[in-house]
Amino acid sequence: MATELSEARKLFESGDSQGSMRVLRSAADRLPPAETAALVAELARGAGFENLAEASTALAAGPGQADRLYAYGYACVERGIDAVAVPALREALRLVQAPPAPAPPTPAARTGLFRRKPKEQKEQSGRQPGLRKVLLELVSALEGCERHTEALAVLREHDARLGDWPDRYLTVYNALMAGRISLAREVYEALSASEGVWVGPGQRVGRMLERAAALPPADDRDLRGWHHVLTGGLLTTLSPHGYDQGMTGRWAYLQDDFDQCRHGLERLCTVLAATGRKPASVALLTDRGSRALGLAAAQLLGVPAAPFRPGQPDVLVVAYDLNECDPAEVAQLRERAEGQLLFEHATCWTDPPAVTADVSTLLGQIVNAPWEPGLQFGEDGEPEEAGPDRRSAEELAEAILAAAPTAPEGDGQTPPDGDDVLTAFVTRATGWPAAGPRDRIGSAGPVRSSRFA
């Protein structure tokens, strides 16, 4: 414990603030919150996060106080360091549940001329936060770490103190993300009607439950099944590497190539054929990678291509990586027009895009596009650094179409995933394409995969 905190401080003092925070994140559950807070205060001041610096300083000076623990945890969540918030909020929750300490005896009241006037009550800066307030903030922090099983356990433990919105809605959401479909359905069906800002989230988990009922995932390693339940999208390929070593079909790092891009388009064609859909045209997004892939898709499908226009029906919108697209264009894809489909080749699973695609080729943490500088393999099979491919989108599209549409070879651990397997799944996904807004799903869900820190 002391070693980890010492390591974090040494990294901070050497100028490596990011490394220091990485250590604090990974060790947070083993470190006393007040001791961590002293270093967090210095990190926060360096980053210009004054509210976090103030809350951290207050906790370091007064450990064991529920209000300070809560304020610190809240500020940590606000600044995206949920892992550091969790132990502080857990301790705050424990304290607000503890029976209050007995009050000191009240001195006898003075009478007559010498009676003391009551002193003005100063506003209590240390007013203890309520249990529900602390509980919901702890759940938010756990969700930010994708620790849905723990969030669910906390919510179930205190269910008698909860309301329906957002409290028991969060039970439904975390049960789904933890793979507990039956429990999620049981709680969801008992919820009162949602109102205001909770109407959308309530409908979203309702659609997830409908998809889970229509096409239940096989188990907690069924990546394609859970991807469909949570996002409504279809995942067309599984990583052929490290399935049994913790990747379960996702990529941690991928140096993409033109062969894989072509293979992804072929799998898209498999989906369209299995569902009897043929778009009238392909809509081209403005970034070079998406335009190249879109032009190749249009030629492969034998349909025209034109620049993307919001609300255009019966088109296939093609993106290489939505996180690299124009955010204004992406925002216009949250609501789909009639018959509009969104295809994304490389979907980031650790930082999901603002909207979910109807079809994704692969799920990767870091994907280096074929035209970006990176590691390539020469004719002799040896790795070598390659510079960027500066060809136009039209030339890149031709390179994609000229590539071999074959799946990459792997280590043989990934379950068989030929066109027949994909077709069988797609034909069972009767609710595809999904209805309603296609919001970002910020969690990897029940299927866990190894990732870079």
CA dihedral 69, 178, 452, 357 (to 10 degrees): -120
Q: Are residues 177 and 260 in the same domain?
A: no
Query: Is position 303 within any domain?
Result: yes
Question: In this predicted model, what pLDDT tens digit does every residue of 61-100 receive, in sequence order?
Answer: 999 999 999 999 999 999 999 999 999 999 999 999 977 6
Rounded CA separation 133/124 (Å): 18
Question: In this predicted model, what pLDDT tens digit does every residue of 232-290 receive, in sequence order?
Answer: 999 999 999 999 999 999 999 999 999 999 999 999 999 999 999 999 999 999 999 99
Q: Are residues 268 and 297 in the same domain?
A: yes
Q: Are residues 157 and 19 in the same domain?
A: yes
pLDDT band at 117 (very low <50, low <70, confident <90, very high): very low
Q: Give me the CATH number covering residue 328.
A: 3.40.50
Query: Is position 51 within any domain?
Result: yes
Q: Are residues 194 and 251 in the same domain?
A: no
| Joined tokens for residue 287 | 């970034």
Q: Are residues 293 and 361 in the same domain?
A: yes
Rounded CA separation 402/374 (Å): 21
Query: Is position 282 within any domain?
Result: yes
pTM: 0.91
Q: Are residues 224 and 84 in the same domain?
A: no
Q: Are 23 and 4 in contact (CB under 8 A)?
A: yes
Rounded CA separation 322/259 (Å): 20
Q: Are 283 and 309 in contact (CB under 8 A)?
A: yes
Rounded CA separation 9/39 (Å): 7
DSSP conformation class of 311: T
Burial class (CB in 10 A: 0-12, 13-18, 19+), 22: middle
Region 142-166: mean pLDDT is 97
Q: Are residues 201 and 241 in the same domain?
A: no
CA geometry: angle at 243 spanning 238 and 244, to 5°?
160
Q: Are residues 264 and 389 in the same domain?
A: yes
The secondary element (H helix, E strand) that includes residue 208 is: helix 199-214
Position 107 scores a pLDDT of 53
Q: Domains in the chain: how many in total?
A: 2
Structural domain of residue 168, as residue ranges?
2-98+130-210
Side chain identity, residue 151 = A
DSSP conformation class of 15: T
Question: In this predicted model, what pLDDT tens digit does every residue of 313-346 receive, in sequence order?
Answer: 999 999 999 999 999 999 999 999 999 999 999 9
Q: Are residues 174 and 279 in the same domain?
A: no
Q: Are residues 28 and 151 in the same domain?
A: yes
Rounded CA separation 296/400 (Å): 7
Q: Where do we find the tokens 């692969």?
A: 362
251 Cβ contact list (under 8 Å, min separation 6): 239, 241, 362, 363, 364, 365, 367
What Rg do the C-alpha atoms of the chain give, in angstroms?
A: 26
For all residues of the chain together, what is the average pLDDT? 93
Q: Choose among 261, 367, 282: nearest CA to 323.
A: 367
Tell me what percent of the residues of the chain surpass a pLDDT of 70. 92
Is the peptide bond preceding residue 437 cis, with omega within 30 degrees of 0? no
Q: Are residues 148 and 295 in the same domain?
A: no
Rounded CA separation 148/445 (Å): 8
The pLDDT of residue 116 is above 50: no
